[in-house]
Amino acid sequence: MQIGLRKNKKVLKKGRRSKMELAKVIWHTEDLELALDNRGIKSTQQNIDILLNDPHFVQTLKQQSLECGREILDELILLYQKKLIRDDSNTTSLWTYGTETKHLKFQANDVWLEDIVVTLGFSDLSEFATDYSYHDSKKVFTLAQKDTKSGLMILGGDDEDEA
Protein backbone atom coordinates (compact mmCIF):
# COMPACT_ATOMS: atom_id res chain seq x y z
CA MET A 1 0.00 0.00 0.00
CA GLN A 2 1.26 3.45 -0.82
CA ILE A 3 -0.04 6.53 0.89
CA GLY A 4 0.84 9.84 -0.63
CA LEU A 5 0.43 13.40 0.53
CA ARG A 6 0.22 16.04 -2.12
CA LYS A 7 -0.23 19.74 -1.59
CA ASN A 8 -2.63 21.40 -3.96
CA LYS A 9 -1.22 24.49 -5.60
CA LYS A 10 -4.62 26.02 -6.44
CA VAL A 11 -5.23 29.47 -5.03
CA LEU A 12 -8.12 29.88 -2.63
CA LYS A 13 -10.78 32.11 -4.14
CA LYS A 14 -13.17 34.45 -2.28
CA GLY A 15 -12.53 32.89 1.12
CA ARG A 16 -13.54 29.42 -0.06
CA ARG A 17 -11.31 26.41 -0.03
CA SER A 18 -10.91 24.65 -3.33
CA LYS A 19 -11.05 20.88 -3.43
CA MET A 20 -7.74 19.62 -2.19
CA GLU A 21 -6.32 16.13 -2.25
CA LEU A 22 -4.85 15.50 1.17
CA ALA A 23 -3.95 11.83 1.07
CA LYS A 24 -4.38 9.05 -1.42
CA VAL A 25 -4.25 5.31 -0.84
CA ILE A 26 -2.94 3.19 -3.68
CA TRP A 27 -3.28 -0.56 -3.25
CA HIS A 28 -0.64 -2.70 -4.96
CA THR A 29 -0.86 -6.35 -5.95
CA GLU A 30 1.74 -7.01 -3.24
CA ASP A 31 -0.84 -5.85 -0.67
CA LEU A 32 -3.35 -8.28 -2.10
CA GLU A 33 -0.77 -11.08 -2.11
CA LEU A 34 0.02 -10.41 1.55
CA ALA A 35 -3.68 -10.34 2.48
CA LEU A 36 -4.23 -13.67 0.71
CA ASP A 37 -1.18 -15.21 2.40
CA ASN A 38 -2.37 -13.95 5.81
CA ARG A 39 -5.64 -15.85 5.23
CA GLY A 40 -3.84 -19.04 4.21
CA ILE A 41 -4.84 -18.63 0.56
CA LYS A 42 -2.23 -19.03 -2.15
CA SER A 43 -1.32 -15.69 -3.68
CA THR A 44 -1.32 -17.00 -7.23
CA GLN A 45 -1.94 -14.82 -10.25
CA GLN A 46 -5.17 -16.77 -10.82
CA ASN A 47 -6.48 -15.87 -7.35
CA ILE A 48 -5.45 -12.25 -7.77
CA ASP A 49 -7.17 -12.09 -11.17
CA ILE A 50 -10.37 -13.58 -9.69
CA LEU A 51 -10.51 -10.74 -7.18
CA LEU A 52 -9.41 -7.89 -9.45
CA ASN A 53 -11.81 -8.90 -12.23
CA ASP A 54 -14.78 -8.92 -9.86
CA PRO A 55 -16.40 -5.44 -10.00
CA HIS A 56 -18.02 -5.96 -6.57
CA PHE A 57 -14.62 -6.67 -4.97
CA VAL A 58 -13.03 -3.59 -6.54
CA GLN A 59 -15.98 -1.30 -5.68
CA THR A 60 -16.12 -2.58 -2.09
CA LEU A 61 -12.38 -2.03 -1.64
CA LYS A 62 -12.73 1.56 -2.86
CA GLN A 63 -15.78 2.28 -0.66
CA GLN A 64 -14.30 0.69 2.46
CA SER A 65 -10.97 2.47 1.96
CA LEU A 66 -12.86 5.77 1.80
CA GLU A 67 -15.01 4.95 4.83
CA CYS A 68 -12.01 3.90 6.92
CA GLY A 69 -10.25 7.06 5.80
CA ARG A 70 -13.15 9.15 7.12
CA GLU A 71 -12.95 7.35 10.46
CA ILE A 72 -9.21 8.03 10.62
CA LEU A 73 -9.81 11.70 9.78
CA ASP A 74 -12.45 11.96 12.51
CA GLU A 75 -10.08 10.37 15.07
CA LEU A 76 -7.28 12.76 14.09
CA ILE A 77 -9.58 15.77 14.45
CA LEU A 78 -10.55 14.46 17.90
CA LEU A 79 -6.84 14.26 18.82
CA TYR A 80 -6.23 17.84 17.68
CA GLN A 81 -9.50 19.34 18.94
CA LYS A 82 -7.89 21.45 21.66
CA LYS A 83 -5.72 23.20 19.05
CA LEU A 84 -8.62 23.88 16.68
CA ILE A 85 -10.90 26.93 16.68
CA ARG A 86 -14.49 25.95 17.41
CA ASP A 87 -17.79 27.61 16.59
CA ASP A 88 -19.07 27.83 20.16
CA SER A 89 -22.26 29.62 19.09
CA ASN A 90 -23.82 26.23 18.30
CA THR A 91 -22.71 24.33 21.39
CA THR A 92 -23.72 24.01 25.01
CA SER A 93 -21.27 23.56 27.88
CA LEU A 94 -22.23 21.23 30.74
CA TRP A 95 -20.71 20.01 33.99
CA THR A 96 -20.71 16.40 35.16
CA TYR A 97 -18.61 14.34 37.54
CA GLY A 98 -15.75 12.02 36.72
CA THR A 99 -15.77 10.80 40.33
CA GLU A 100 -17.68 11.85 43.41
CA THR A 101 -15.43 14.85 43.91
CA LYS A 102 -14.10 15.69 40.45
CA HIS A 103 -16.06 17.90 38.09
CA LEU A 104 -15.69 17.56 34.34
CA LYS A 105 -16.75 20.29 31.94
CA PHE A 106 -17.66 19.28 28.40
CA GLN A 107 -19.32 20.74 25.35
CA ALA A 108 -21.75 19.19 22.84
CA ASN A 109 -23.37 20.28 19.59
CA ASP A 110 -26.79 21.88 20.17
CA VAL A 111 -28.52 20.12 17.27
CA TRP A 112 -27.38 16.73 18.58
CA LEU A 113 -28.15 17.69 22.17
CA GLU A 114 -31.73 18.80 21.33
CA ASP A 115 -32.61 15.25 20.28
CA ILE A 116 -30.92 13.67 23.28
CA VAL A 117 -32.54 15.83 25.99
CA VAL A 118 -36.02 14.95 24.73
CA THR A 119 -35.24 11.26 25.30
CA LEU A 120 -34.31 12.18 28.89
CA GLY A 121 -37.76 13.70 29.48
CA PHE A 122 -36.97 17.40 28.98
CA SER A 123 -39.09 19.53 26.68
CA ASP A 124 -36.11 21.27 25.08
CA LEU A 125 -32.48 22.26 25.48
CA SER A 126 -33.19 25.42 27.48
CA GLU A 127 -35.12 23.42 30.12
CA PHE A 128 -32.35 20.84 30.24
CA ALA A 129 -29.62 23.50 30.58
CA THR A 130 -31.27 24.93 33.70
CA ASP A 131 -32.63 21.74 35.32
CA TYR A 132 -30.25 18.88 34.51
CA SER A 133 -28.94 16.61 37.27
CA TYR A 134 -25.66 14.77 37.68
CA HIS A 135 -27.25 11.62 36.24
CA ASP A 136 -28.63 13.52 33.23
CA SER A 137 -25.27 15.07 32.38
CA LYS A 138 -23.49 11.75 32.92
CA LYS A 139 -25.93 10.08 30.48
CA VAL A 140 -25.39 12.85 27.91
CA PHE A 141 -21.62 12.58 28.30
CA THR A 142 -21.71 8.79 27.88
CA LEU A 143 -23.87 9.06 24.74
CA ALA A 144 -21.69 11.87 23.35
CA GLN A 145 -18.57 9.72 23.71
CA LYS A 146 -20.16 7.09 21.46
CA ASP A 147 -21.48 9.44 18.75
CA THR A 148 -19.15 11.57 16.61
CA LYS A 149 -22.10 13.79 15.61
CA SER A 150 -22.22 15.06 19.19
CA GLY A 151 -19.17 17.27 18.64
CA LEU A 152 -18.02 16.31 22.14
CA MET A 153 -15.16 18.37 23.45
CA ILE A 154 -13.83 18.00 26.97
CA LEU A 155 -13.11 21.51 28.23
CA GLY A 156 -11.43 20.54 31.48
CA GLY A 157 -11.99 19.65 35.07
CA ASP A 158 -12.56 21.64 38.21
CA ASP A 159 -8.85 21.47 39.03
CA GLU A 160 -7.96 23.43 35.89
CA ASP A 161 -8.09 27.18 35.56
CA GLU A 162 -10.80 28.41 33.22
CA ALA A 163 -9.74 30.71 30.43
Q: Which residues pair with 107 in a beta bridge?
A: 93, 153
> From the centroid of its chain, how far is CA 157?
23
Predicted local distance difference test score (pLDDT) of residue 11: 39
The DSSP 8-state label assigned to residue 13 in this structure reads: B
Going from the first residue of the chain to its last (163 residues), give the mean pLDDT of each consecutive group of 10, the final group possibly shorter.
Answer: 42 53 84 92 94 94 87 79 65 67 80 90 87 86 88 72 42
Predicted local distance difference test score (pLDDT) of residue 162: 42
| Amino acid (one-letter) located at 22 | L
Predicted local distance difference test score (pLDDT) of residue 95: 72
Predicted local distance difference test score (pLDDT) of residue 155: 79
| Amino acid (one-letter) located at 6 | R
Q: What is the model's pTM?
A: 0.44
- DSSP code string of 36-61: HHHTT----HHHHHHHHT-HHHHHHH
Predicted local distance difference test score (pLDDT) of residue 135: 85
Contacts 24+ apart (CB under 8 A), 121-127: 125/92
How are beta strands 91-97 and 23-26 bridged, if at all? unpaired
